[in-house]
Structure 1
Amino acid sequence: MSSSLLQPTHHDTYPFIDPCGQLAGSAKGKSVLVTGAGSGIGRAIAEAFALARAERLFLVGRREAGLRETRERIGGKVGLVGDGFVVGHGEGVRDGDLGGGRAGGLEGRRRERREGCEVLVMSGVDISKEEDVEGIFASYFGSSGSAEEGKRFPPPDILVSNAGTSGATEKIADSDPKMWWRDLEVNLKGTYLVARRYIRALREYYGSTTAADGQGELEGRIINVSSNASWRYVPGRSSYAASKLAINSLTEYLDGEEGSGVVDSTTGHSKNKVIVRSVALHPGGVDTDLAATLPEDVRKRILIDKPELAAGTCVYLSLPRADFLMGRFVNCTWDMEELETHRERVERQDLLKSKVVGMFDTLPAH
């Protein structure tokens, strides 16, 4: 990444990415799945999409109380539709309602749409466990046939993988192997598992190939929360940095593999019906629970950004105008309107990707 492209400009939301301002209504009719939505950045992201008039939010996290609070906050801002039935996945998490009654379980969601946002939550989820991730999609999403029966929803239009963890700030020689590896399990493996299952859910629901009439492709979008630690040396943060650097690479691979279809030479249409674009986002320096292990002087120096900044940037990145950033790393403290003026340079020089400085991009032919 070239430091001359853009410098950090913002610490809070601004008009260009404001879900109640220039992005008002930009998520209308969309459904969004947010992991780690029970507090901090994840909560702000969920609220931003609701304010941008998303039709339905699926909020996933570990703690039921935090997810309930996120849902209540959204209700206070835009109003709620549906029962918000909690699907308890982990041990000690019960099935229950969120104040609207169970109304026949999932069947209770079959009602006429009205103003507001439908918010459904699932607690007790550890995204590093394949069975937990499978539980999200088995509970909420199904085949097109089951959706028509009203028992499941179509897969979300947008996936925001925000759930993560951060172990102790220690030198590698002094670290606890289990704690060190846990950052990789949650941040990298968890992000991988959710993205993998999301893409499969889209394929299962919509089919893997285009219809015979060659109608346009359907698009999903993945926003993976990364960090400036992925490219900047921070003493004692080796496990966290390694996990976030790997997320940048994972995102590039996701977009490279799923972001465009092979065109059929006969029809001129993509052979893939479902296109999934992916981007990695640094959410700024936000004082969340994950930052608790940082030294106090570091927290005061770098944790100066509001979660609403990352949230509004996520809404922006979900839009077609941000397609030039897919497969890349984006810092939410940059000005997105200014970043758009660099589009030609970003694409031509293939910027905002993880590379080894000084190495050739391609090996010489033999």
Structure 2
Amino acid sequence: MPAPIENMPVTAHNTIYPGIEPSKFIGTLKDKVVFITGASRGIGEATAIAFAKSGATLFLASRKQETLDMVQSDILKAVPDAKACRKEFSKVDIVISNSGTMEDFSQTIAQRDPDIWWKTWEVNVKGSFNVAHYALPALAETKGYFIFVSSVGAQVRRKGASSYQSGKHAVNRIAEFAAIESAPDGVKVFAIHPGGVKTELSKAGGPELAKVLNDDVQLPAWAMVRLVQGKEDYLSGRYVSVNWDLDELEERWKEAIISEDALKNRLALPSAAYAA
């Protein structure tokens, strides 16, 4: 039996489509305060602009340093900015953890320097945890939303990408825990794949990765705006690809996703094991 499919059978988009048409959301987030990390360029920048157009007040954390050591240091030290956001605006409604890093995919586990391997994990996993740690108590006061920007890499096993891809898998799992723990406070949590967008970060993946990065940066930006509107709350605690048509996902798969507790990390067993 082949490995279970790890992608939903719905229409896949690589740019804005009717379900996330920006004109639908203009002004819908008035009086909402949004905290975004990694907002200086690429997906973070486009997301900040989309939320601003939707009427939100923004508190942005941007880190422009290029080296891994600098990125690591900034992310791990800057997460208390979530507290500053809350202090300045008295509340925070939406938090998007978008900061991260990626090692090149040229070396196997046996070849990779352990310190470099671990730094990627520390930035992507510990950094995401730290943002959530500081933000979730504030979101409990507003019954708000937390979005982890993860990756389809969490569902892929590519030679040379063990640190990045296993780290994103861990981020998805952290999102599941955060959703369980925060549900009593009305907080909704998503782990999203932001599409295949060419960014400064993605350059580390090399030319082979670049060939499949053909998505418009507006796709993740406006998909995230839609995710915090309330209609997709059933996806809290789950992995969501912004490439998926969210209307089709709801119409065709919402009931099954809820009843089977799908779009979460699980161990794939031999088919016969389910009948044993």
Q: Is the aligned partner of 1:275 residue 2:186?
A: yes
- What amino acid maps onto 2:127 in structure 1? G
Matches for 1:197-346 after TM superposition, within 5 Å: 197-202=134-139, 206=141, 218-259=142-183, 261=184, 274-300=185-211, 302-341=212-251, 342-346=253-257
Secondary structure at the counterpart of residue 13 of structure 2: coil
Give the number of the structure with larger relative contact order, counting CA–CA contacts within 8 Å between residues 6 or more apart. 2
Query: Residue 9 of structure 2 corresponds to which residue in structure 1?
Result: 6
Secondary structure at the counterpart of residue 40 of structure 2: coil
Matches for 1:62-211 after TM superposition, within 5 Å: 62-63=63-64, 126-129=74-77, 132-134=78-80, 136-142=81-87, 152-169=88-105, 170-202=107-139, 206=141
Q: Work out whether residues 155 and 198 of structure 1, in 8 Å CA contact, stay in contact via their aligned partners in 2.
A: no
Structure 1 residue 8, shift from structure 2 partner: 5.4
Query: Could you say if the C-alpha distance between residues 284 and 240 of structure 1 is closer, same or farther in structure 2, counting changes exceeding 3 Å?
Result: same
Structure 1 residue 128, shift from structure 2 partner: 2.2
Q: Work out whether residues 61 and 125 of structure 1, in 8 Å CA contact, stay in contact via their aligned partners in 2.
A: no
Secondary structure at the counterpart of residue 35 of structure 2: strand
Identity of aligned residues (%): 36
d(CA) in 1 for partners of 2:73, 2:51? 22
Q: Work out whether residues 48 and 58 of structure 2, in 8 Å CA contact, stay in contact via their aligned partners in 1.
A: yes
Query: Residue 31 of structure 1 corresponds to which residue in structure 2?
Result: 33
Q: Work out whether residues 85 and 92 of structure 2, in 8 Å CA contact, stay in contact via their aligned partners in 1.
A: no
Secondary structure at the counterpart of residue 173 of structure 1: coil
Query: Residue 58 of structure 1 corresponds to which residue in structure 2?
Result: 59
d(CA) in 1 for partners of 2:7, 2:226? 23
- Deviation string 1:163-214 (CA, Å, 9 cap, x unpaired) is 00001212111112221111111111011001110123346xx4xxxxxxxx
Q: Is the aligned partner of 1:354 residue 2:268?
A: no
Q: Work out whether residues 35 and 85 of structure 2, in 8 Å CA contact, stay in contact via their aligned partners in 1.
A: no
Q: Is the aligned partner of 1:45 residue 2:47?
A: yes
Q: Work out whether residues 38 and 63 of structure 1, in 8 Å CA contact, stay in contact via their aligned partners in 2.
A: yes
Q: Work out whether residues 63 and 124 of structure 1, in 8 Å CA contact, stay in contact via their aligned partners in 2.
A: no
d(CA) in 2 for partners of 1:202, 1:285? 29
Secondary structure at the counterpart of residue 269 of structure 2: coil
d(CA) in 2 for partners of 1:156, 1:359? 45
The runs of 5 or more residues in structure 1 that have no matched partner are 65-90, 92-122, 143-151, 207-217, 262-273, 361-366
The runs of 5 or more residues in structure 2 that have no matched partner are 272-276
Structure 1 residue 39, shift from structure 2 partner: 0.5
- Calculate the TM-score normalised by the size of structure 2: 0.88
Structure 1 residue 138, shift from structure 2 partner: 4.5
* Greater share of helix: 2
Q: Name the larger-Rg structure.
A: 1
Name the Cα RMSD after superposition. 2.3
Secondary structure at the counterpart of residue 171 of structure 1: coil
d(CA) in 2 for partners of 1:177, 1:4? 32
Query: Residue 77 of structure 1 corresponds to which residue in structure 2?
Result: none
How many residues were matched structurally? 262
Structure 1 residue 18, shift from structure 2 partner: 2.2
Moved over 6 A (4+): none
